[in-house]
Structure 1
């Protein structure tokens, strides 16, 4: 077997350690925009899921035959609404950090 040190085999789980890897600098303006969009998406999702939960609650009252199905859907929608609200809250704080970083750089 010949020693081919130049021809290194790569496996998808192993990264190439020969490359000079430097972390990319993040653009604060792009970060601000990204977090703002995600915050808005979280808000909209929370509102939509909350509205759907109320809709299912109403359906459970109107249709006692399938009330258990509607109650399950209501609980799932309520859980999604809470999760989306948490995401919006998290992204709001990330947006504030990005704004602070932008201000430190003197861009805005």
Structure 2
């Protein structure tokens, strides 16, 4: 009995840019915009957690060291998420420029 092995295409998705096919610039701008918002939300959440741990460190002197470590980790996560949001903001701006250039080329 010949059983055919089915391959799932989960990680074999090809990018349209790499294939040389048409690029949906509107979709690209929207994608980077969503990722920027996720980065911003992550930064806010991590910052809020850092402040929460700072408050806990003051209220619980026995475990203050543990809370300060958690606070520092949350602060680093907030900075990282902010950097990601900043990166995606620039990617979005670049995608908008590409979209505008593609629209100019199409009309002439």
Residue 34 of structure 1 is matched in structure 2 by 31
**TM-score, structure 2 normalization:** 0.75
Among 92, 97, 105, which residue is 1:95 paired with? 92
**Cα distance in 2 for residues equivalent to 1:29 and 1:52:** 35
Does residue 71 of structure 2 align to residue 74 of structure 1? yes
Structure 1 gaps, min length 5: 1-20
Among 46, 58, 61, which residue is 1:49 paired with? 46
* Deviations 1:66-87, CA, capped at 9 Å, x for gaps: 1011011101100000000000
**Cα distance in 1 for residues equivalent to 2:48 and 2:66:** 17
**TM-score, structure 1 normalization:** 0.75
Shift of the 24–77 alpha-carbon distance from structure 1 to 2, 3 Å rule, reads farther
**Cα distance in 1 for residues equivalent to 2:21 and 2:42:** 31
**Cα distance in 2 for residues equivalent to 1:69 and 1:81:** 18
CA RMSD of aligned residues (A): 1.6
Structure 2 gaps, min length 5: 1-17
Does residue 51 of structure 2 align to residue 60 of structure 1? no
1 or 2, which has the higher helix percentage? 2
Larger radius of gyration: 1
